[in-house]
Amino acid sequence: MAIDYDKLLNRHFDEVRQTYTARDTILYALGVGVSMDPMDEAQLRFTYEEALAPLPTMAVVLATPGFWVKEPDTGVDWVKVLHGEQEMVIHQPLPAAATVTATTRVTGIVDKGADKGALILQERTVTDADSGAKLATLTSTTFARGDGGFDGPTTGAREVHRLPEREPDLSCDLPTLPQAALIYRLSGDYNPLHADPKVATAAGFKAPILHGLCTLGIAGHAILKSCCDYQPERFRSLKLRFSAPVYPGETIRTEMWRDGDVVSFRSRALERDVVVLNNGRAEVG
């Protein structure tokens, strides 16, 4: 079954309503590796219920539509899909606990060709259900490797942020736990690729891999620490491309270039010297 461009572009998504608690907020922060040092009080505000503050990147796990491309009527070969890009804009700091709502929509589909796949662009806005305040807007690109050649538009891909050509201005190394994926999945992504060795090896990996959005959270932590002094209200936006998987237990070095309020960045797994996040751009206050 091939992609039906008009049908997929106009696909209906039900509104998702989610109530999260302080426990969920703490669990997300632990999942991305915050408070490795239990004596670091700057990090403790994200992992201890007294004066609790959510990490800004927690927005990516709120009121998600789930793995909807797996549904048969999409026409997408879901086995071959990859998370290509992710962007988030924070409109105001997230509450430590709240009920939120969001509706996803497909904003574009790019046909790269019969042997080159397709790009599916999506957007969702997370809103506080009680106040009606807009909290965050999330946009992402799904790379559907097996679905090109459906005679759709060939343009419309999001512009890639170019990193400065000079040496990075600063860097931040953050370790990950061997069980990091098993913790992070409790924030809502239960794909067995991140937990079951048999599934991971069948997919061509030597072991279960870390969620891409967990790696995003680690990079967000590095920026929050290095450029915002752990003040989440200063963290405004972030976008990046996923370029390689991470294995739990690896150390992630985020290299940053600071130009006023704009932070360009990339992240690499030090043990393999592989860039895992690229073309990153964040705005901070």
* 11 and 121 together in one domain: yes
CA 178 – CA 35 distance, rounded (Å): 15
Q: Does 179 lie in the same domain as 130?
A: no
127: in domain: yes
Number of domains comprising the chain: 2
Are residue 11 and residue 111 in the same domain, yes or no? yes
Catalytic one of 24, 111, 147, 189: 189
Answer yes or no: do 22 and 126 share one domain. Answer: yes
Specify whether 229 is catalytic: no
What domain range is 12 assigned to? Answer: 5-144
Give the helix/strand (H/E) hosting 79: none
Whether 252 is covered by a domain: the verdict is: yes
Closest-CA residue to 94 (of 138, 59, 125, 145): 59
CATH (domain of 247): 3.10.129.10
Residues 6+ apart with CB under 8 A from 155: 110
Instruction: Identify the active-site residue in 24, 111, 147, 194.
Output: 194
Domain contains 150: no
- My answer on whether 16 and 55 are in the same domain is yes
Q: Is 194 designated active site?
A: yes
Q: How many CB atoms lie within 10 A of CB 79?
A: 9
Let me know whether 9 and 140 are in one domain. yes
Same domain for 187 and 111: no
Q: What does the longest C-alpha to C-alpha distance in the chain come to?
A: 57
Q: What are the pLDDT tens digits along the chain (285 aa)?
A: 688 999 999 999 999 999 999 999 999 999 999 999 989 999 999 999 999 999 999 999 999 999 899 898 899 988 888 899 999 999 999 999 999 999 999 999 999 999 899 999 999 999 999 999 999 999 999 999 889 999 899 999 999 999 999 999 999 999 999 999 999 999 999 989 999 999 999 888 999 999 999 999 999 999 999 999 999 999 999 999 999 999 999 999 999 999 999 999 999 999 999 999 999 999 999
pTM here? 0.95
* 139 plus 10 within the same structural domain: yes
Both 260 and 140 in one domain: the answer is: no
Residues 195 and 129 in one domain: no
Check whether residue 14 and residue 113 sit in a common domain. yes
